[in-house]
Structure 1
Amino acid sequence: MLKPFEVHVQASSLERFRPGLTGPEWEALQASAEQARERMAGRTFWNVNSTARGGGVAELLPRMLAYARGAGVDTRWMVVQGTPAFFHVTKRLHHALHGSRGDGSPLGAAERACYEEVLRDNAEELLVLVRPGDVVLLHDPQTAGLAPTFAAAGAHVVWRCHIGSDTPDAEVERAWAFLAPDLTAARLAVFTRAAYVPPLLADRSVVIPPSIDIFAVKNQPMTPEVARAILGHTGLVELAPDAPEPVFTRMDGVPARVSRGADIVRLGSAPAPGSPLVVQVSRWDPLKDPAGVLRGFALLLRESPGLRAELVLAGPSVTSVADDPEAAATLEAVIAAWHEQPHFLRQRVHLACLPMVDPEENAAIVNALQRHASVVVQKSLREGFGLTITEAMWKARPVVASAVGGLQDQVRHEVDGLLVRDPGDPAEFAAAVRRLLDDAVLAARLGAQAHEHVRTHFTAARHLTDFMALLEELDARAEREA
């Protein structure tokens, strides 16, 4: 029998936000926290998803929950478990909600039966914990099928969808048809963008963009010297003889050292510390288009053979993300595309699987890689939001992103970065990257403006206030329906 497990989260004080907020902003955050404490007194706010590490939801939850606990709200995180067949179905749903066929497999009665059976097993354990009046926030298609069970138990159910399509098609409709029977039980639904809201949820949806925690290990300040040392010890760049220790600070304040290396496919040596790096950090997912990034970079080098830049495509170890069965196949396809390139280009492209055994060590490596990058790219074909680009913008890096999904909510073209209007056009992508590599003044200006844009719109302080308002709306609807 499949059993969900709890991920324990330590509380973090809201006081750490105070220095970076204006007086009115700090007062508003305190007022929201007080309202949430009063509203949730005697109740628990449950978050349920399908993986404890890897991907945007697993990045988002621990820090948001830590601050909610720091505000005095009893917030807990449960992770459902599934079979390979279940995760194959939910990955198919993931692609369909993006408007993609994925592997084209069916979403029929057999897939529905598999989906329901796995969630029924998980629900039996969860129902022991959830009490009437509790708030249950279910994340993405993997958990939507739990909504009727929790609603019947008297919980206030909210479903959060982190993905979607700006232009619904037959695939999107197929996904909603699969999920619709369960979503009738959700009192509210939360979407990243208004364009993602389907007609069946139009009367009970709110829009809340995601955020990053600027105090997390992945986003904490790091000197260029330490960043290069971490990348050197990991194998992503050459290790300088006089490099300092590859250290970072854990969330509990304890200093730590990066000790694990990355698994890297390359021809020849690691990039020199001074080589400009073009970097994409993402899950190994075909919708992130890592092979397209490689081919776009290949075009860039063919057009500008004197360019010194090198490309790093980095993602998590393919065995580390429980709910993503496509990771290994996607990485294999990228490696195959790498083998197709000429010798000189393979010397300039590095495919890295980052260690995930210690999530905070992984976060420190990603932090170093993003801060060291000359240009950070996210050439997704579809994208729910794209927190990796948010992270890079916070670090004042110049970015190139596809004008799809939530990426276009973050990057204002020519203001915070450069947008590629056609993510399938390698020439447009190559031209945007070359422009930032060639124009240091433009790159610096866009990076500085990107940092400020994230500070004002995409940090946890704003996100927490949005969720306080969500609780108010949820209880108001419960009263009207009583």
Structure 2
Amino acid sequence: MTTTISATGRLTTVHTAARPVAALAGVVGEQRYAGLRAAAEDFRVRFAGRTIWTVSSTCTGGGVAEMLQALVGYVRDLDVDIRWLVIGANPSFFAVTKHLHHLLHGFPGRMTLGPQTAAHYEDVLAANAQELLALVHPGDIVLLHDPQTAGLAPWLTHAGVHVVWRSHIGTDLQNDATRDGWAFLRPYLQHADAYVFSRRAFVPAWLPAERTRIITPSIDPFAPKNQDLAPDTVRAVLDAAGLIEAPTRAAPAYLRRDGSTGTVECHATVVADSLPGPDEPLVVQVSRWDPLKDMAGVMRAFAEYVAPHVPGRLMLAGPALVADDPEGALVRAACVQRWRGLPPPVRGRIALASLPVDDVDENAVLVNALQRHAAVVTQKSLAEGFGLTVAEAMWKGRPVLASTVGGIPDQITEGAGVLVPDATDLASFGAALRGLLADASARQRIGAAAHERVRAAFVGDKHLLRYAELLTALLSRPPGG
């Protein structure tokens, strides 16, 4: 394992090994790679004697954690001191932050944000802050990720630490829900030195423009989730995990992040009348079990507008359990209930899979194999911050059918995928999916364009360069100044 965790209190330390950044040269070209090395050398000189701390709410089970696995590893290989910490909290805290997640996406939740809610949020983060303050030093930089960590900002700024708050969520259109969410977070965020968003439209008007940066997420081409897999390996992995019915003799081996060879030993939990066969066209959506990912909507669109007209199967795949997402089990249970209510001929063509998350690399290779095996990958979200699963599928040359929400249209440009303007229009979504399943040449053409789009815009070198520019600027002024 290249990533391990250790906990001595509330905070958990994620130990991530260096990833060879030189490998990026073969993907992005020598010129882009040389630019990254030069920027890293300049940053090391300016940053000498300091540490970057990145603080999140989980190290598994979501796009934020996956990006950090890659970026922290590359930064370590560039010989910059970086540490990764995960906060400790209870389910009621994560219920509050999940509510904030919905609000910032523009969707009202079931909770009222009052003084008691704020007090509990602050108490949990105060306990984490006390441990964190024993680790950081004045002049260090701390990157806080999403609403779960925003309440740490005042403690850190008062301790002479540079604070950057990174939001991975948001919506283009502000409404009462977003205003409520930002009103709750504003007292904490006003202490940060800088702010990072995935899209300009996500930035609330009260944040100072001169302290706000737009940095789009990226994928790691060499991570287990994105590495090349031969077709026979794809089938062997999916068969070993119990995701398709394709008995093979090939060992389901893949490369782990430390360069060693791993084999798939886990088994997914699948709700299905039967497993997809190896040659059946498979539609796949990989998401958290989150109402905003609208897994139920994908299932309904497939059942009503696709299954009666063209061959193919649908698989909805999500993590078995994510600690900071208390809604996951409820959403999955609701999807299973809907699945059970479908007519048997349609139900037999739909499977719901829960992928184990105990081993990060093994979970990632399952997702990789599913996306590579898919004829079409969907992302019919009702809201998205960026939607990194889109770029991951595009990298694999898959045609992606997605909603025009959040950062998805930043990824899918003309000819590099298919966008549905209204995420709630099941008929249009179904018609587009039906068309892709019926046209293999279109799928191949779109997939090739998708791969090139990701190579040009969403590989880690550009991500790291933008952060280097931001952090260098921070060092030119005192914390809180």
TM bin, normalised by shorter chain, reads: over 0.9
Distance 1:100 1:225, change over 3 A: same
| Cα separation, 2, equivalents of 1:42 and 1:251 | 28
Residue number in structure 2 paired with 1:188: 194
| Cα separation, 2, equivalents of 1:457 and 1:185 | 32
Residue number in structure 2 paired with 1:308: 311
Residue number in structure 1 paired with 2:157: 151
Q: 1:320-339 maps to which residues of 2 (within 5 A)?
A: 321-339=322-340
| Cα separation, 2, equivalents of 1:84 and 1:64 | 28
Corresponding letter in the other structure for 1:94: H
| Cα separation, 2, equivalents of 1:370 and 1:64 | 22
| Cα separation, 1, equivalents of 2:332 and 2:456 | 36
Corresponding letter in the other structure for 1:292: G
Question: What is the CA-CA distance between 1:442 and the residue it aligns to?
Answer: 1.2
Counterpart of 2:72 in 1: which secondary structure?
helix
Residue number in structure 2 paired with 1:348: 349
Q: What is the aligned counterpart of 1:250 among 227, 249, 256? A: 256
Corresponding letter in the other structure for 2:446: L
Question: What is the CA-CA distance between 1:340 and the residue it aligns to?
Answer: 1.7
Corresponding letter in the other structure for 1:470: L
| Cα separation, 2, equivalents of 1:435 and 1:84 | 43
Residue number in structure 2 paired with 1:411: 412
Question: What is the CA-CA distance between 1:62 and the residue it aligns to?
Answer: 1.3
Within the alignment, does 1:382 sit opposite 2:383 as a pair?
yes
Residue number in structure 2 paired with 1:85: 92
Q: Is contact 1:6–1:79 with CA below 8 Å preserved after alignment? A: yes
Q: Is contact 1:2–1:121 with CA below 8 Å preserved after alignment? A: no
Within the alignment, does 1:289 sit opposite 2:290 as a pair?
no
Post-superposition CA distance 1:48-80 (Å, at most 9, x none):
011111111111111100101111110000000
The more displaced of 27-36 and 121-130 is 27-36
Counterpart of 1:8 in 2: which secondary structure?
strand
Q: 1:70-81 maps to which residues of 2 (within 5 A)?
A: 70-81=77-88
Residue number in structure 1 paired with 2:435: 435
Distance 1:130 1:480, change over 3 A: closer
Question: What is the CA-CA distance between 1:301 and the residue it aligns to?
Answer: 3.4
Runs of 4+ displaced beyond 4 Å? none
Residue number in structure 2 paired with 1:22: 29
Within the alignment, does 1:165 sit opposite 2:166 as a pair?
no
Residue number in structure 2 paired with 1:469: 469
| Cα separation, 1, equivalents of 2:445 and 2:385 | 27
Corresponding letter in the other structure for 1:311: L
Within the alignment, does 1:272 sit opposite 2:272 as a pair?
no
Counterpart of 2:73 in 1: which secondary structure?
helix
| Cα separation, 1, equivalents of 2:105 and 2:171 | 5
Q: What is the aligned counterpart of 1:46 among 50, 53, 76? A: 53
Distance 1:295 1:35, change over 3 A: same
| Cα separation, 2, equivalents of 1:109 and 1:236 | 47
Q: 1:191-270 maps to which residues of 2 (within 5 A)?
A: 191-203=197-209, 204-240=211-247, 242-267=248-273, 269-270=274-275
The more displaced of 23-32 and 3-12 is 23-32
TM-score, L = length of structure 2: 0.96
| Cα separation, 2, equivalents of 1:264 and 1:162 | 30
Corresponding letter in the other structure for 1:368: A
| Cα separation, 1, equivalents of 2:437 and 2:477 | 52
Corresponding letter in the other structure for 1:417: G
| Cα separation, 1, equivalents of 2:367 and 2:237 | 10
How many residues are paired up?
A: 473
Q: Is contact 2:404–2:422 with CA below 8 Å preserved after alignment? A: yes
Corresponding letter in the other structure for 1:362: N
| Cα separation, 1, equivalents of 2:479 and 2:117 | 36
Q: Is contact 1:35–1:468 with CA below 8 Å preserved after alignment? A: no
Post-superposition CA distance 1:174-229 (Å, at most 9, x none):
01100000111101000000000001214221000000101101111101111011
Q: Is contact 2:244–2:278 with CA below 8 Å preserved after alignment? A: yes
Question: What is the CA-CA distance between 1:159 and the residue it aligns to?
Answer: 0.2
Q: Is contact 1:46–1:137 with CA below 8 Å preserved after alignment? A: yes
> Root-mean-square deviation (CA), in Å?
1.3
| Cα separation, 2, equivalents of 1:120 and 1:464 | 30
Residue number in structure 2 paired with 1:7: 14
Question: What is the CA-CA distance between 1:480 and the residue it aligns to?
Answer: 10
| Cα separation, 2, equivalents of 1:10 and 1:259 | 23
Post-superposition CA distance 1:284-317 (Å, at most 9, x none):
000000000000101123541xx22000000000
Question: What is the CA-CA distance between 1:322 and the residue it aligns to?
Answer: 1.1
Post-superposition CA distance 1:367-392 (Å, at most 9, x none):
10000000000000000011111100
Question: What is the CA-CA distance between 1:18 and the residue it aligns to?
Answer: 1.7
Corresponding letter in the other structure for 1:300: Y
TM-score, L = length of structure 1: 0.96
Identical amino acids, percent of aligned pairs: 50
Residue number in structure 1 paired with 2:303: 298
| Cα separation, 1, equivalents of 2:434 and 2:208 | 42
| Cα separation, 1, equivalents of 2:377 and 2:421 | 17
Question: What is the CA-CA distance between 1:23 and the residue it aligns to?
Answer: 3.1
Q: Is contact 1:12–1:67 with CA below 8 Å preserved after alignment? A: yes
Counterpart of 2:232 in 1: which secondary structure?
helix
Unaligned runs of 5+ residues in structure 2 are 1-7
Within the alignment, does 1:128 sit opposite 2:130 as a pair?
no
Question: What is the CA-CA distance between 1:119 and the residue it aligns to?
Answer: 0.2
